[in-house]
Structure formats: structure tokens, C-alpha cells
């Protein structure tokens, strides 16, 4: 029998194993969420449900990070949009130098 302790790998709290059974906690947020003015609970701006979220807003960035353990991209912000809406935004953002892959 060896007196050596087994090597333990300690991961930062934001990094989770893909098979980690612990649920994500959606009860805590860094930024207060107030949707009383009709703003989106995810990104904090007032927009129609078929429009993309605003990935530049801190509220969306932290909301997304809390769910996915990574920062959002335009592809993430457009993920819930229809194919037509996705293409329209993809073309519009391309005019400003933002390259988004086709679906």
C-alpha cells in the first residue's frame, strides 16, 4: 500500500465535464432582469420574438454564459430565428464586416 495521495484534478467552477449530472443554476444572475417594459428576458432589449438577440449587450452575454459556459456569438443570437431572418441578418452583417456561416 502506498502512502502517496492520488492526484486530483480540480477544474474551475465554470468548466464542467460533458456528462456532469448537476443541473445548471438559473436562479442566480449577475445583472438584474426587469422585463416590465416588455424587454427580452435574455438580452434586455425590446424586440419582436422573431428578431435576434443583441450579442453586444452585457445582459445577453452573461445570460448566455450562465447557460452554456461560453460567450455568445452572432450565430447564437440568431439561432432561434427563421432561415429567412437568419439570411437577412447574415447579409446585413456582412456589409459591416461580420462573417456568419450559412446554415
Q: Is residue 47 part of a domain?
A: yes
Q: Is residue 79 part of a domain?
A: yes
Per-residue pLDDT of the chain (103 residues), as tens digits, is: 556 776 766 545 554 555 555 555 544 555 566 667 888 888 888 899 999 999 999 889 988 888 888 899 999 999 999 999 999 999 999 999 999 999 8
The parent domain of residue 81 ranges over: 39-96
pLDDT at residue number 93: 95
pLDDT at residue number 55: 92
Rounded Cα distance, 75 and 53, in Å: 10
Site of grid cell 495521495: 5
Number of other residues whose CB lies within 10 A of the CB of residue 19: 5
pLDDT at residue number 74: 94
Q: Is residue 54 part of a domain?
A: yes
How many separate domains does the chain show?
A: 1
Angular region, 97: left φ>0, alpha ψ -120 to 50, beta rest: left
CB 87 within 8 A of CB 101: no
Amino acid at each position: 500500500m502506498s502512502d502517496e495521495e492520488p492526484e486530483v484534478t480540480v477544474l474551475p467552477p465554470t468548466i464542467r465535464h460533458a456528462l456532469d449530472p448537476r443541473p445548471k443554476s438559473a436562479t442566480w444572475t449577475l445583472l438584474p432582469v426587469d422585463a416590465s417594459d416588455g424587454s427580452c428576458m435574455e438580452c434586455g432589449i425590446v424586440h419582436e420574438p422573431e428578431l435576434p438577440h443583441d450579442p453586444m449587450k452585457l445582459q445577453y452575454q452573461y445570460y448566455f454564459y450562465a447557460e452554456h459556459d461560453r460567450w455568445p456569438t452572432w450565430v447564437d443570437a440568431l439561432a432561434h430565428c427563421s432561415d429567412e431572418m437568419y439570411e437577412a441578418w447574415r447579409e446585413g452583417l456582412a456589409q459591416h464586416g461580420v462573417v456568419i456561416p450559412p446554415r
